[in-house]
Structure 1
Amino acid sequence: MEGPSNGGMLYHEVQESKLCAVHCVNTVLQGPFFSEFDLAALAFDLDKKERQMMLEGGPVSEDFLRFDSEESHNVSMDGDFSIQVLEKALEVWDLQVIPFDCPVAEPAQIDPELENAFICNLQEHWFCIRKVNSEWYNFDSLYAAPEHLSKFYLSAYLATLKASGWSIFLVRGNFPRECPMSSSEASNGFGQWLSPEDAQRITKSINVTQPTPHRNDSSSHSNLSQAIGETDMLSDMEEKDLNAAIAASLMDSATVSTETVNPQGGNPEGNNQ
């Protein structure tokens, strides 16, 4: 019988600058596979191809001159990356990124537990929700450790993110099962390997001493995630009480604008993240 991936350990990266897209890709893959320089190279390659396509479309136009004079459309000066860059990075591992509201993703909307990973984005923040060794975790780089998500709450959590304006993408394919743990020492320097027990201990410790750190644009999923973590420990709570906990979390998230906000005012398929 095949054992757990990476010996049962969880790979997590803590936020560095505005490199949440790098952290998101690596936690989807569960290993330090990409650096910011790798993603930047992919972004510049995409820029080059976009310019080439515009030139092949006919005579040089004012639109092209304006496009050519602008900064990269796939990476900003401070390190934000577009969804196309994340897609290209994951394509290296034969993984496909699919918008959550796409018809092909309908089974995931009905039963997300059958999937393996989701990418979430709002304004300039990316993070992933990933199933590792049959358990779901929130690998948000704003957290000190991955937070466990019960299967019961996964659907409610995704629905709350969507209602709060987050863009959600489904990731499908054959995920890498092993990453040499020693490679993290020579890679991007952001990552750490944690046992599920260590991750739970760190999360509990932070929740007791202080609120989970978060940006203003991620307060809705931070509040709900904390509520989920607390509820997971109450295994004997009746279903009506669980539903009440969800309702309370949804009320908290109502303070966040429900207008869909995408990076730099555009759609998530074509702007910097």
Structure 2
Amino acid sequence: MESSSNGGMLYHEVQEAKLCAVHCVNTVLQGPFFSEFDLAALASDLDRRERQMMIQGNVGDASGDFASQESHNVSLGGDFSIQVLQKALEVWDLQVIPLDSPVAEPAQVDPELEKAFICHLQDHWFSIRKINGEWYNFDSLYPAPEHLSKFYLSAYLDSLKGAGWSIFLVRGNFPTECPLSSSEASNGYGQWLTPEDCVRILKACNSKGESSHTVAPTRRQPSDQFASLSEAELLAMEDEDLKAAIAASLMDSTPTNPNSESQIPSTEKTS
């Protein structure tokens, strides 16, 4: 049985500016381990290594694109590339693996046996993490983590893939305790919550007539479509029918607004 980490508390970060890469990494690690300055330093190091390789290998126009001072791993708006997130998690000896790669095939069949996923589309990153045996969506656009049943997890990941999200599996020895004190853990957007706190916060938003998901309509998640259904009702639906229904709900919810936050270059970058 999985031991309780961080005293049973969940670490969540709410969206600050365009720092969803920071929020994503920290919620995977379950603590405020990285700041935007840490990720910027990793991006700078990656840029330096890339330029050095291009120049040494005399590949293409070495004096052009890669030799320029423009970063390929972080934009002026603070958008970080997938390579930066990979480097950050490698610090903790964690691997980031594309879910569609052969090595991740077991996770495609039984995702509930894994511990974490990170998801990306256009200008947004978020994590899905198993804490104390339960799955939660740690999207920084939500006011609190959203519980995901094991049954729903597979359908949710399938619906994200169908909507064009890039999904990465995270494997390795995750930290079980945040080494920082509660005072040091306060970074302005991080918070420690019990599972009961999460339910209360999400319900409070609904009771006020607000969406529990602080996200624009063009960034609506597939779980919104089924927020009013109980666990029993979801379980009563055939698995394939559920997946089809979620996929259909995404037709109008996939991010398509080119002006929502910032434009993303051809490499995957984050807000």
TM normalised by structure 2 equals 0.88
Q: Residue 264 of structure 1 aligns with which residue?
A: 264
Q: Specify the alignment match of 2:94 in structure 1.
A: 95
Instruction: Report if aligned partners of 1:35, 1:187 keep a CA contact under 8 Å in 2.
Output: no
Asked if 1 retains the 8 angstrom alpha-carbon contact of 2:9 and 2:192, the reply is: yes
- Secondary structure of the corresponding residue to residue 126 of structure 1: strand
2:45 pairs with 1:48: no
- SS state at 1:176 partner: coil
- Describe how 1:11-90 pairs up with structure 2 within 5 A: 11-58=11-58, 62-69=61-68, 71-90=70-89
- Percent same amino acid at aligned positions? 62
- Distance in 1 between residues matched to 2:188 and 2:252, nearest whole Å: 36
Q: Name the residue aligned to 1:190.
A: 189
State the partner residue of 1:8. 8
Partner of 2:224 in structure 1? 226
**How has the CA–CA distance of structure 1 residues 116 and 3 changed in structure 2, closer, same or farther, with 3 Å as cutoff?**
closer
Aligned-residue offset at 1:122: 0.4
From 221, 231, 235, the counterpart of 2:232: 235
SS across alignment from 2:167: strand
Partners of 1:160 and 1:194 lie apart in 2 by 28
Deviations 1:36-57 (A, max 9, x none): 0000000000000001101111
Instruction: Give CA-to-partner distance per residue, 1:200-257, whole Å, 9 cap, x none.
Output: 11112223321222145532xx2x22345543x4437661378766544332211245
Question: For residues 131-165 of structure 1, what are the alpha-carbon distances to aligned partners after superposition, in whole Å with 9 as ceiling and x for unaligned?
Answer: 00000000000000000000000010000001111
For 2:9, give the aligned amino acid. Answer: M
Question: What letter matches 2:35 in structure 1?
Answer: S
Q: Which runs of 5+ in 1 are unaligned?
A: none
* AA of the residue aligned to 1:151: K
The CA deviation string for residues 29-82 of structure 1, in whole angstroms up to 9 with x for no partner, is: 0000000000000000000000110111138x5353233335210011111100
Aligned residue for 2:248? Answer: 251
Contact 1:76 1:272 survives alignment (8 Å): no
Are residues 81 and 197 of structure 1, via their aligned partners in 2, closer, same or farther at CA, if it must alter by over 3 Å? same
| Number of positions where the alignment pairs a residue of Structure 1 with one of Structure 2 | 264
Q: More helix per residue: 1 or 2?
A: 1
CA–CA distance in structure 1, aligned partners of residues 179 and 70 of structure 2? 37
Q: What's 1:210 paired with? A: 210
